[in-house]
Structure 1
Amino acid sequence: MKAWSLVALSDLLTPDNEPVAVRQDQQYPNFGIYSFGRGLFAKPPIDGMQTSASTLYRVRAGNFIYSRLFAFEGSYGLVDEVFDGHFISNEYPGFAVDRSRLEPGFLKWYFQCPNVWQAIAMGSKGVGSRRIRVQPDKVLAHQMPLPPLAEQQTIVARLDALADKTRQVEAHLDAVERDAEHLLALQFRDAISNVRFCPLTQVASIIRRPVAIDVSLKYREVGARSFGKGLFVKPDFDGAEATWQKPVWVKQGDLVLSNIKAWEGAVAVANHQHDGCIASHRYITCEPDPGQATSGFLAYYLLSADGLEKIGLASPGTADRNRTLSLGNLSKIEVPVPALSVQKKFNELQAEVSKLKARHAAIRAANAALLPATLERVFAPAP
């Protein structure tokens, strides 16, 4: 940030809440404000018959608005044309912007900086962060850097262009990954066309390798994410801290399932990072017969729509935590078993898709950091 003058928001914003008496025979279009400076989102209309409020407040496009309760985590935004004429409660103070001095887009970008929310929220009353309410006087007392209007507009144009570029990058990566997943699905469809199905236990043994916990040692524990998102390693812990019963060892190449969450995709393959870790008694480890099946091929099938349906049927119960996949039911699930060479060829494609996603993850991380880093440079205090 250059040596721009600091101007109190009270000199740039004017409270602009238009009260409207609530009628029971009316519905009032409503919206909310995302945290972390992410803008506004539509909510169901407020029903005049059901609301306890006697007064709502109409907002206008171009107004600056925020949530008293969630201002501390960036619940600020500008009202655009989509929400012009919508209604909010008194928990959402709104302000008209003096456009002769302040470009609304400049204010919008400024309020995407976390240090701004924190500075304004500091000293606000509340018990615990989720109870802090930031009052309008705190917002209006804040001093923001204010370059000339033309410079503001130039900065806004550049930041808007950068944001658009980052969205384009994300959209491109998403499209490439969709194509890769579609290719996988097509190859898998061809691989299992007209092949035999057999119970899982005929091609993969359910192996439980009991762990005798040594209180003098440290252990690494793994868990399985739902929706096919793989295994994750938990922080190391001392054996003396183990409170759960009958843990099992995990080996590279294992097909690992959570017996309480397999029905929602907690199915994964252990790789070299997970070798030598332990899992709680809630996990089932399967070791495919290397002459008949691969864990990657079996996992892909079990995570497919057909596979998850079979796991769901094999996991009786009504409540989430009571839907347990028993060893007996798992062993009866029928899986496709094409030639081993076909499975390995599919695994090779899986590996290429995984490498692609890993590269994309690095690009996504850099892309996500670009805009915050730019905002920090633009609005950093002058030396």
Structure 2
Amino acid sequence: MKAWPKVALGELFQVEKGKIGIMAAIPGGFPLVTTAEEFLSHVEPHFSGDAVCIPLISATGHGHASLKRLHHIEGDFSVGSILCACVNQSPNRVMARFAYYYLTACKDSTLVPLMQGTANMSMKIQDVAGVQIPLPPLKKQQAIVARFDALAEKTRELEVHLDAADNASAALLLSLHHKLGSDRTVRLGDIIELHEVTEPIRAEGQYTQVGVRGFGGGLFAKAAIAGSGTAYKSFNRLYTDAIVLSQVKGWEGALALCSAELAGMFASPEYRTFRCKPTVANAAYLGELFRTEWFWPQLQAATWGVGARKERTRPEQFLNIQLPMPALVDQLKIAEILAKQVPLKAKHTAIRAANAALLPATLERVFSEPA
């Protein structure tokens, strides 16, 4: 790649800041590029052509510079005001999709260092326009893009296959759940209870945090923070089989069972913990049930508010949810069946991780190779 000449983006692309605040957008017939993976929509387009869209604001904030993803788009579209659109003005010299793949591979060395600021680090349009990209012959660009597109499609197909297998497991659970619990409706508060282990925060202490992903994504460990770095007076210490509910994002399925590996870690008071009543509920069973798409609307209905303005899901709202529930003996039988799928799910997780890393690793290798 060292033999390829480098050219500034501003020489090849028209670089402009996005023209619409995300909250001001009106859903319509044109794609609206945001920092999220999926596009939104808007009633009118502000740009037209073949373009790369680059976030101008750090993905993490708090004085840390990072970029999560860029986008490539063609046609008529709008762009959120915290991104910029690089619209191709030199199609005989460069492919926007080639620039997208290069900048995605090299964003940490080409774009992230441009970010400045304190709490909200950001880039300037003129700095983005000055970023230089390698410019091989157009046929070489086309070959590279075709290679990456084919690889991206293969990884997408694998994800679809894994999703189908995981959905089959969830369908089996729900089928048995409704069949065996159809004549037995319970209130969650009758089978689980609020149980929190609070730990006062010491300024000199270090606390490994846990978060909850939405839509059944489970718990994940976060970096430890110092007691002096938080305004909270106490944290909730997690324990094995604790049912952890995010009050802020509960309405989008941010609810999960705590594994033995994460027990002993901490969550802020915004995460409430519940335990099963041992004579009527099985934690493994409920943990799987709460991961299903069927259960999330129950949380949404229990939480007041509309759309993004939903309020916190309070414990009493969560415990007041009513749903069909098999007897404990049936829960245990179903949990035993589901347990046999654990090794397969672990393999799926490992495959997903390797699959997600494949395209970035290939991009990095190609763009670090000599031409």
Name the counterpart of 2:22: none
The answer to whether the aligner puts 1:324 opposite 2:317 as a matched pair is: no
- Cα distance change, pair 341–378 in 1 and its aligned pair in 2 (3 A): same
- Cα distance change, pair 346–215 in 1 and its aligned pair in 2 (3 A): same
The answer to whether the aligner puts 1:270 opposite 2:269 as a matched pair is: no
Name the counterpart of 1:24: none
Alpha-carbon RMSD: 5.0
Is the Cα contact below 8 Å between 2:33 and 2:78 reproduced in 1? no
* Residue deviations 1:188-220 (CA, integer Å, cap 9, x gap): 2223133x3445455445445554667776555
Bigger-Rg structure (1/2):
1
Distance in structure 2 (CA, Å) of the matches to 1:284 and 1:201: 14
Equivalent of 2:351 in 340, 345, 363? 363
- Cα distance change, pair 118–31 in 1 and its aligned pair in 2 (3 A): farther
Name the counterpart of 2:336: 348
The answer to whether the aligner puts 1:380 opposite 2:368 as a matched pair is: yes
* Residue deviations 1:253-282 (CA, integer Å, cap 9, x gap): 333445665554343322212333455555
- Figure out how many residues of one structure are paired with residues of the other and give that number: 346
Identity of aligned residues (%): 28
Indicate the larger mover: 4-13 or 249-258.
4-13
Is the Cα contact below 8 Å between 2:10 and 2:129 reproduced in 1? no
2:263 is paired with a residue whose SS is coil
The answer to whether the aligner puts 1:160 opposite 2:149 as a matched pair is: yes
Distance in structure 2 (CA, Å) of the matches to 1:120 and 1:214: 39
* Residue deviations 1:1-33 (CA, integer Å, cap 9, x gap): 4x634254699948799xxxxxxxxxx986555
* Residue deviations 1:141-189 (CA, integer Å, cap 9, x gap): x36242x555444433323322221222122222222222222221222
Gaps of 5+ in 2: 17-27, 59-65
Is the Cα contact below 8 Å between 1:297 and 1:347 reproduced in 2? yes
* Residue deviations 1:110-130 (CA, integer Å, cap 9, x gap): 344334x85479779999743
The answer to whether the aligner puts 1:97 opposite 2:96 as a matched pair is: no
Indicate the larger mover: 312-321 or 284-293.
312-321
Is the Cα contact below 8 Å between 1:222 and 1:233 reproduced in 2? yes
Equivalent of 1:138 in 130, 149, 159? 130
Question: Where does 1:41-56 land on structure 2 (aligned, <5 Å)?
Answer: 43-45=42-44
Is the Cα contact below 8 Å between 1:218 and 1:236 reproduced in 2? yes
Is the Cα contact below 8 Å between 1:124 and 1:134 reproduced in 2? no
Distance in structure 1 (CA, Å) of the matches to 2:114 and 2:95: 28
Task: Tell me the amino acid that sits aligned with residue 134 of structure 1.
Answer: Q
Name the counterpart of 1:169: 158
Shift of 1:350: 3.5
Is the Cα contact below 8 Å between 1:222 and 1:234 reproduced in 2? yes
Question: Where does 1:192-341 land on structure 2 (aligned, <5 Å)?
Answer: 192-194=181-183, 196-200=184-188, 202-209=190-197, 211=199, 219-220=207-208, 222-236=210-224, 244-245=232-233, 249-258=237-246, 262-281=250-269, 284-300=272-288, 320-321=310-311, 323-326=313-316, 334=322, 336-341=324-329
2:332 is paired with a residue whose SS is helix
Instruction: With the length of structure 1 as denominator, give the TM-score of the two structures.
Output: 0.65
Is the Cα contact below 8 Å between 2:194 and 2:315 reproduced in 1? no
Task: Tell me the amino acid that sits aligned with residue 138 of structure 1.
Answer: G
Distance in structure 2 (CA, Å) of the matches to 1:111 and 1:278: 37
- Cα distance change, pair 335–111 in 1 and its aligned pair in 2 (3 A): closer
Gaps of 5+ in 1: 18-27, 47-55
Shift of 1:105: 5.5
